[in-house]
Structure 1
Amino acid sequence: MHPRLPHAGILSPQAIMIRACFSRHSGVAHRGALERGEMAAKQKLPAQPSGYQCRSEQCEMAEVEIPVYSYAELKKITNGFGAENFMGKTFSSNSLLYRGEIVDKESNLVQKVIVEMRKNEKDYDLKVWQTQLNALKDPTISSHPNVVKLQGYCNSACDLGLVYDCHALGTLHSLIFDESFSWSMRMKVALQLARVLQFLHSQEKPLILLNFEPRSILVDMDFNPLIFGFGLASGGVLGILDHTVLSLIFLSHPQVYLDPEYTLCGITIGPWCDVFSFGTLLLAMITKSHDPEVGEIIARSKYSFLQRFYGINFTKFIVLKNFWKDGKYHIRDSAAVTKLAVRCVKSCLTVVPKYHERPGMSEAVSILECLRVVKKLGLHCSSLA
């Protein structure tokens, strides 16, 4: 069973109305959504439970001395934000990633870094940036080996930047189609991502990322994934997510990896949202595809025989076609991973939401640790709780 975030699904009147407008735009009919928004606006929403902070309140963070860079310094680090250093754009938070180098003036040592830049144009830009900064400054979150280490930040009037200490091959998004990204390395990445989600969900106050997608995951030179997409996170030390912020971002940048049952129907935020994102990402890695249709077909199959035969077996066929020449690929591993991914994206929207029908991340970790390729790589044991 997943731990439940109390009252995390309460929507503001504005968020309800925005979501209703988006639903009509997407062709999904939600009768009375606007009326419910108007009714909610006239009612006083219940207070947040004790122990949880609103996103608007200042989070209490441990004081960590982090270097502050000017825009000019970041421009120099990235060689003028040159095209040769451009890595891509994060789909959800609308920021740009660049490679950079910091040269120590005394020792002349060169440090490889990644610079994430965004314009400070809209109200939510500063909120998303501040949330990400707070998360990466938190000692508990930053202690995990699969969370990127913050090297510095920039907070100018027009530009917001974060500097990460990372020598990266690229984002996970850029590697999905790469033939050198082998089956064994994909399973290594999948296992480590499952472990970091398990870690975040197992905190006393679970932290839900929501923004768990391959453009917000770096992969270092040893094929270790490093997550940095905390801008839309909810719970934990960051407090409850401002749903209006997420709704505005979603209207501008529709998400493939965000649980559609939250974005369209407003189900309670919980670990099951990240489980859906993980399942969609896992499908992308094993099918070498960013096309959401495979995940959508499986997740939205109306009849059980379609779910069982078309969904799972069709995906197995794609995986076999992509990796049968890979020496470390095993058909039983493929079956286990495909079944796990399909369960993760299973629809849980009923009169009484069946969140338990999606596996928890602890179960996902256990399944991945039992894979033959994982055991051969010696990755089935972890020192992390």
Structure 2
Amino acid sequence: MALKRLSWDCVVPGCLKAQTTSTQHKSHISKQTSFRRLSLSDVSNHGSSISLNDLSSSLVGSNLHIFTLAELKTVTHNFSRSNYLGEGGFGIVYKGMIDEGLRPEMKAQVVAVKTLDLDGTQGHREWLAEVIFLGQLRHPHLVNLIGYCCEDEHRLLVYQYMERGNLEDQLFKKYSLPLPWLTRIKIAIGAAKGLACLHEEEKPVIYRDFKASNVLLDSDYNAKLSDFGLAVDGPLGDNTHVTARVMGTRGYAAPEYISTGHLTTISDVYSFGVVLLELITGRRSVDMSRPTREKDLVNWARPMLKDTHKLDKIVDPRLEGLYSTEGAKKAVLLAHQCLSQNPKCRPTMQTVVKTLETIMDLDDIPVRSFLYTDPALCKDVCVNNYEDAAEKVQNEPVNENRVEEKEVEIKNVKGHRRQKRARKHRHRTRASRSRAVFSDTALYSALGTSLYFPKSKNGSKENTEE
């Protein structure tokens, strides 16, 4: 049976429910047999009557803008390489600027434009998943989807711009200051709240590809989940799981998902545990540059997670001890629970949020002392010291023996310098002589005209010249 076209005012939104007192709206809702979020299957199934043209009006409370390709070319300066932000499985992401003149109803703002790579690993299904999920889900820790473009074979997505990029770059970027301990916990809390929002939906959402590069950060290091291309609707009713093709990123996927293809919200908890471990250790989930036993982060860290005496071997050494010891113990034990091989032993994301918030409240972080020197005061001290030294020299009685010793010392130093210069001169002379053998003048002196006029077989120079 074909699904009837859904309008924006008959579908219940995701994390943020729209409210209205319109009598017309209420009467329309009363005719509906159920209130639910539009799912990916409602659009992607062949029997669905919802077309791409109806998509924006079918997503409740989305307020998504449908951009033309020409508009996005203007926004990104024709997808200039100077606006390049990065590249993922979906395609290249560009920075853009929406001016007030582009559309009257839109405010001027900086955006990120993601373009689908037609030769990449993802395609229309992943693009559609982004529009379906982020078009309806609203939460402070989910990235805001502003609009999309679907023109011919082109598929583009327009997001709010996140000033600090993704967590992977911030955590592992070379030649930069390490993220402070409390900043790491703040990021973990934000990401955990984003996952909790998805899992607590009436129809749960399994994120499926939670990793450091999919956690975006704004200027205040508030974390927001992005890239919903692999997200799926979770099980309903008596179903315990959904079965899906194994996809994701090596090092983050839950072991039961890899072995069976069974997905639950608890699969996301395992992936979160990996990212939490990355925040604690400052190591990548998979790092092939490390020794064999340390290439896989979880396998390396798991034996040490329950031993609080090995805390210093786990916590990122770049923090130089500037972290809460009690907080680190709680974070490590939480990571151990999230990474349990038995899915039933893993906590819910709501429990994870509560545990992390207690860590944020701890105030036992050591404070490194430092000495601040006022430049003006330093200048005055230097001047005073110089004047005192000059006065001391003037008042000091002359010691003739000491003066003679100084003169002898100066002569010895000068003599040493002369000897050093002489050695350098001899070295340059020897070097020049050795190189002179290969000069035309030296060869001509040694070989005569035979250098330019080879001798004949009988050795007669005159015959050669003739």
Q: Give the TM bin, normalised by the shorter chain.
A: 0.5 to 0.7
Q: Secondary structure at the match of 2:252?
A: coil
Among 146, 152, 171, which residue is 2:166 paired with? 171
Structure 1: distance between partners of 2:61 and 2:111: 23
- Please tell me whether the aligned partners of residues 200 and 207 of structure 1 are also in contact (alpha carbons under 8 angstroms): yes
Task: Pick closer, same or farther for the CA change 1:132–1:335 going to 2, 3 Å.
Answer: same
Displacement of 1:344 after TM fit?
Answer: 1.0
SS in 1 for 2:165: strand
Q: Partners in 2 of 1:242 and 1:85 — Cα distance?
A: 39
- Aligned equivalents of 1:365, 1:316: Cα separation in 2: 24
- Secondary structure at the aligned position of 2:114 is classed as strand
* Counterpart amino acid of residue 221 in structure 1: S
State the AA in 2 paired with 1:101: M
Unaligned runs of 5+ in 2: 1-36, 51-57, 287-294, 364-466
Conserved in 2, the CA contact under 8 Å of 1:171 and 1:217? yes
Pairwise CA distance, 1:76: 2.9
1:369 corresponds in structure 2 to 357
- The answer to whether 1:195 aligns with 2:193 is yes
- Which sections of structure 1, spanning at least 5 residues, go unmatched? 1-50, 349-354, 377-385
Question: Which residue is 1:338 aligned to?
Answer: 332
Shift of 1:205: 2.0
List aligned pairs for 1:1-385, cutoff 5 A: 55=41, 56-57=44-45, 61-62=59-60, 64-90=62-88, 93-105=89-101, 110-120=108-118, 125-138=123-136, 141-142=137-138, 144-177=139-172, 178-235=176-233, 246-247=245-246, 250=247, 254-266=249-261, 268-292=262-286, 293-297=295-299, 308-309=306-307, 316-319=312-315, 321-326=317-322, 329-348=323-342, 355-371=343-359, 373-374=360-361
**Could you list the per-position Cα deviations for residues 160-188 of structure 1 after superposition, in whole angstroms to 9, with x for gaps in the alignment?**
11111234211111111252522111111
2:422 alignment partner in structure 1? none
Query: Against the structure 1 CA distance between its residues 313 and 70, is the aligned structure 2 distance closer, same or farther, given a 3 Å change threshold?
Result: farther
State the Cα deviation string for residues 42-101 of structure 1 (Å, max 9, x = none).
xxxxxxxxx9967333586326442222333323322333333322223xx433222221
Cα distance change on mapping 1:333 and 1:277 into 2, 3 Å: same
Q: CA deviation at 1:208?
A: 1.0
- The structure with higher relative contact order (CA 8 Å, sep 6+) is 1
Are the aligned partners of 1:209 and 1:229 in contact in 2 as well (CA < 8 Å)?
no
Number of equivalenced pairs: 300
Q: 1:219/1:341 Cα in 2 relative to 1: closer, same or farther (>3 Å)? A: same
Cα 1:278–1:104, aligned 2, differ >3 Å: closer, same or farther?
Answer: same
* AA partner of residue 267 (structure 2): C
After superposition, the C-alpha distances for 1:174-233 in whole angstroms (9 at most, x for unaligned) are 111252522111111101111121122122222110111122221001111111222111
Task: Give yes or no for contact 2:253–2:271 (8 Å, CA) kept in 1.
Answer: yes
- The corresponding residue for 1:352 is none
Q: Determine helix, strand or coil for the equivalent of 2:194.
A: helix
* Structural RMSD (CA): 3.4
Identity of aligned residues (%): 27
Contact residue 113 and residue 166 of structure 1 kept, 8 A: yes
How far 1:123 moved relative to its partner?
A: 9.4
Change in 2 beyond 3 A, CA 1:306/1:322: closer
Once the 2 structures are TM-superposed, how far is the Cα of residue 275 of structure 1 from its aligned partner? 0.3
What secondary structure does 2:274 align onto?
A: helix
Q: Distance in 2 between matches of 1:128 and 1:269?
A: 17
Cα contact 2:305–2:333 (8 A) shared by 1: no
Deviations 1:110-159 (A, max 9, x none): 41111111124579510111011011111xx22x1111112111113333
For 1:16, the equivalent position in structure 2 comes to none
Task: Tell me which amino acid in the other structure corresponds to 2:328.
Answer: S
- Partners of 1:344 and 1:296 in 2: how far apart? 11
Q: Note the C-alpha offset of 1:254.
A: 4.5
Partner of 2:399: none
Is the Cα contact below 8 Å between 1:258 and 1:277 reproduced in 2?
yes
Letter in 2 for 1:255: R
In 1, are the aligned partners of 2:283 and 2:297 still within 8 Å (CA)?
Answer: no
Conserved 8 A contact 1:169-1:219: yes
CA distance change for structure 1 residues 64 and 369 in 2, over 3 Å: closer, same or farther? closer
Shift in alpha-carbon separation, 1:111–1:129, aligned structure 2, 3 A: same
Q: Greater Rg, structure 1 or structure 2? A: 2
What is the Cα deviation at residue 316 of structure 1? 4.7
Following the alignment from structure 2 to structure 1, what is the Cα–Cα distance between the partners of residues 315 and 264?
30
- Closer/same/farther in 2, CA of residues 102 and 53 from structure 1, 3 Å limit: closer
Paired residue secondary structure (1:212): coil
How many angstroms apart in 1 are the aligned matches of 2:87 and 2:243?
A: 23
Are 1:298 and 1:346, in contact at CA under 8 Å, matched by a contact in 2? Answer: no
Contact 1:112-1:167 within 8 A present in 2 as well: no
- The answer to whether the 8 Å contact 1:87/1:171 transfers is no
